[in-house]
């Protein structure tokens, strides 16, 4: 392996080892635990593939293996996008300064594509081992087919990633594409709940079209139609190589600065929208009004926020839609779906406006500490902005629910607002603390990626059920006493407790801000190693 490639890997290893001041050892351990669980799960799938390919007869493998390879292909190419991440990538901007031949950068890119498809490598290793154990399959079949199919996937993934990265540089294309990908993620769920159409079932019970790479790979792995399958798969791999290399080259020479400048030339909001931004000054005095106005302006101009906002009332409705249609009595269930969707939308929005409130500000966060503004006003301004967008989101959820004719009794609309806002109160209390304890810089221009780190993600997984308890108690009261009054009584009590919790958390956050100010600003100003993860 060329020395520069080694040096990049070495520097990346060092950068990973030099943990961030904001995370610490516990964060790394939790991250490791999550990775173990995730890859352990995929190792189980690999084991399943092993058992299936080792025991099934060639007749069934002839249909199953090509479809399996197709699933591997689509997961490898699309999963990084659907999981809101394009995976790790070389920080070309910094590495372009050095005399590194393009071939080496491309090799590095392929290595990173392999890491992005690690789950599929596990599954394919399991499948290949099973075929090797299967006495009905000649041993050389999987040994030839699997490496070739992996190479085909790596080249394609490199091409797809670079093509997407360039497309995503076009502001509007970026947002439309990301939105479509996100919507597409709901498709399997809809298919599963609504039952797979008969035609589709029939389709999957036959071997796929002969010329597809997965069909050729499947046949080759089973040592059937060897020569045409080998030629076909080799041709697909060569095409994928050309595609990958061409796209990588174009990515290298693509001028992201010029593209960004073109987007900056778009005239800014005027008229009605401007009046909306200025609305806070009618109700509040400065600096709170100025802070709220700034938050609303910058959030609305942040692609990452726009995506989650859009997802709440579109993807949110889509993902719960099958549940409604499989429910025995949707109207009888009391029209609770708008509430579910609203809470789901809140969870989506929390990523952008609650858990890491200084993420989009990045280095600019130091202004909050240098300006003569009490820090509680800064947090309150950010929390008020979160409340405004959440109320707006719930309203849009309701409108979409009306449009798609979901059962919407008036009391349920009120319930949706109240329940979501009470949960929101608890989330804001916790969010003010996580924002100060686990700050992370987030590029507002990137639609994809997570706003909070792995440690926070795990923490949230444990926190959400706890923060939902007060509202669940209200539902328990309704169930136990069969009374709306009991429900609203407990909900009101939960809201009052939420206000107290918020106040206490705010005091704690202010004390924390005092102590952690330096660490907060250092963490928000950080950038990564030669390999970055989006």
Partner 1 sequence: MESMLEPSPAISVLDLRKVYADKAAVDGLTLSVPRGCFFGFLGPNGAGKTTTIRMLMGLAPPTSGSIEVLGLPMPGRAVEIKRKIGVVPDESVLFDRLTGREFLEFVGRMYTLERRVAAERARELLGLFELQSSPKKLIAEYSKGMRKRLAMAAALIHRPDLFLMDEPFEGVDAVGARLMKDLLIDQVRRGATIFLTSHVLEVVERLCDRVAIIHQGRLVMEGEMAGLRNGSETLEDAFVRLVGAERTLETLDWL
Which residues contribute to the site for partner 1 (CB under 8 A)? 3-4, 6-7, 10-11, 14-16, 18, 20-21, 91, 93-101, 253, 255, 257-258, 261-262, 264-265, 522, 525-530
* Nearest residue (CB) to partner 1, 407 versus 529: 529
Contact between 349 and 426 under an 8 Å Cβ cutoff? The reply is: no
Contact between 86 and 531 under an 8 Å Cβ cutoff? The reply is: no
* Nearest residue (CB) to partner 1, 16 versus 41: 16
- Separation CA 285–CA 81 (nearest Å): 43
* Nearest residue (CB) to partner 1, 29 versus 257: 257
- Separation CA 498–CA 426 (nearest Å): 6
Smallest separation (angstroms) from partner 1 to the CB of 291: 24
* Nearest residue (CB) to partner 1, 165 versus 295: 165
Within a 10 A sphere around the Cβ of 273, how many other Cβ atoms?
12
Smallest separation (angstroms) from partner 1 to the CB of 531: 10
Residue 420 CA to its chain's centroid (Å): 22
* Nearest residue (CB) to partner 1, 7 versus 211: 7
Within a 10 A sphere around the Cβ of 139, how many other Cβ atoms?
12
Contact between 382 and 295 under an 8 Å Cβ cutoff? The reply is: yes
Nearest CA-CA partner of 295 in 425, 422, 444: 444
For 461, the token pair is 């997984």
Smallest separation (angstroms) from partner 1 to the CB of 288: 25
Helix, strand, coil percent content, the chain, rounded in steps of 5: 75, 0, 20
Residue 185 CA to its chain's centroid (Å): 11
Smallest separation (angstroms) from partner 1 to the CB of 266: 10
* Nearest residue (CB) to partner 1, 99 versus 271: 99
Smallest separation (angstroms) from partner 1 to the CB of 523: 9
* Nearest residue (CB) to partner 1, 101 versus 188: 101
Smallest separation (angstroms) from partner 1 to the CB of 526: 5
Smallest separation (angstroms) from partner 1 to the CB of 192: 42
Smallest separation (angstroms) from partner 1 to the CB of 91: 8
Smallest separation (angstroms) from partner 1 to the CB of 529: 5
The secondary structure element, H or E, covering residue 37 is: helix 24-55
- Separation CA 426–CA 483 (nearest Å): 25
Nearest CA-CA partner of 92 in 242, 240, 241, 249: 249
Within a 10 A sphere around the Cβ of 174, how many other Cβ atoms?
21
* Nearest residue (CB) to partner 1, 91 versus 224: 91
For 126, the token pair is 């399991």
- Separation CA 490–CA 467 (nearest Å): 15
Nearest CA-CA partner of 39 in 122, 114, 115: 122
Smallest separation (angstroms) from partner 1 to the CB of 363: 11
* Nearest residue (CB) to partner 1, 441 versus 468: 441
Contact between 256 and 91 under an 8 Å Cβ cutoff? The reply is: no
- What distances in angstroms separate CA 371 from CA 364, 375, 437, one per listed residue? 11, 10, 21
- Identify the three-state secondary structure at position 533: strand
* Nearest residue (CB) to partner 1, 10 versus 479: 10
- Separation CA 439–CA 456 (nearest Å): 10
């Amino acid at each position: 392996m060329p020395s520069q490639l080694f040096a990049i890997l070495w520097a990346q290893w060092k950068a990973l080892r030099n943990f961030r001041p904001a995370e610490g050892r516990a964060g790394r351990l939790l991250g490791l635990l999550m990775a173990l669980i995730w890859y352990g799960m995929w190792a189980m799938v690999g084991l399943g593939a092993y058992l299936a390919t080792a025991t099934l007869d060639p007749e069934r493998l002839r249909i199953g293996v090509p479809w399996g390879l197709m699933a591997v292909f689509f997961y490898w190419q699309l999963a990084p996008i659907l999981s809101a991440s394009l995976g790790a990538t070389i920080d070309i901007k910094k590495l372009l300064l050095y005399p590194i031949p393009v071939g080496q950068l491309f090799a590095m890119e392929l290595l990173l594509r392999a890491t992005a498809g690690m789950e599929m490598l596990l599954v394919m290793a399991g499948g290949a081992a099973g075929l090797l154990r299967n006495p009905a399959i000649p041993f050389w079949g999987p040994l030839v087919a699997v490496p070739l199919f992996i190479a085909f996937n790596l080249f394609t993934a490199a091409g797809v990633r670079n093509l997407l990265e360039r497309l995503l540089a076009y502001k509007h294309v970026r947002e439309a594409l990301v939105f479509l990908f996100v919507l597409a993620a709901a498709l399997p769920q809809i298919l599963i709940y609504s039952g797979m159409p008969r035609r589709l079932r029939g389709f999957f019970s036959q071997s796929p079209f002969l010329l597809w790479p997965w069909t050729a790979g499947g046949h080759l792995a089973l040592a059937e139609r060897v020569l045409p399958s080998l030629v076909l798969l080799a041709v697909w791999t060569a095409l994928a190589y050309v595609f990958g290399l061409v796209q990588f080259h174009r990515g290298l020479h693509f001028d992201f600065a010029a593209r960004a400048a073109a987007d900056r030339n778009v005239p800014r909001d005027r008229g009605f929208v401007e009046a909306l931004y200025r609305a806070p000054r009618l109700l509040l005095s400065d600096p709170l009004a100025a802070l709220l106005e700034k938050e609303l302006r910058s959030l609305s101009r942040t692609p990452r926020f726009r995506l989650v906002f859009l997802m709440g009332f579109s993807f949110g409705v889509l993902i719960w839609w099958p549940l409604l249609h499989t429910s025995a009595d949707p109207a009888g269930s009391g029209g609770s779906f708008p509430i579910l969707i609203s809470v789901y939308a809140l969870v989506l929005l929390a990523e952008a406006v609650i858990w890491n409130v200084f993420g989009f500000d990045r280095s600019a966060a130091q202004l909050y500490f240098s300006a003569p503004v009490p820090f509680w006003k800064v947090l309150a301004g950010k929390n008020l902005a979160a409340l405004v967008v959440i109320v707006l989101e719930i309203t849009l959820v309701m409108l979409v629910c009306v449009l798609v004719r979901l059962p919407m009794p008036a009391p349920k609309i009120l319930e949706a607002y109240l329940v979501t806002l009470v949960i929101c109160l608890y989330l804001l209390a916790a969010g003010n603390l996580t924002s100060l304890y686990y700050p992370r810089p987030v590029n507002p221009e990137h639609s994809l990626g997570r706003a909070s780190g792995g440690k926070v993600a795990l923490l949230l997984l444990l926190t959400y059920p706890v923060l939902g308890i007060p509202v669940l108690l209200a539902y328990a009261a309704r169930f136990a006493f069969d009374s709306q009054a009991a429900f609203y009584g407990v909900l009101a009590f939960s809201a009052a407790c939420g206000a107290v919790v918020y106040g206490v958390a705010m005091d704690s956050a202010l004390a924390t801000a005092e102590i952690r100010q330096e660490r907060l600003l250092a963490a928000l100003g950080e950038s990564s190693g030669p390999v970055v993860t989006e």
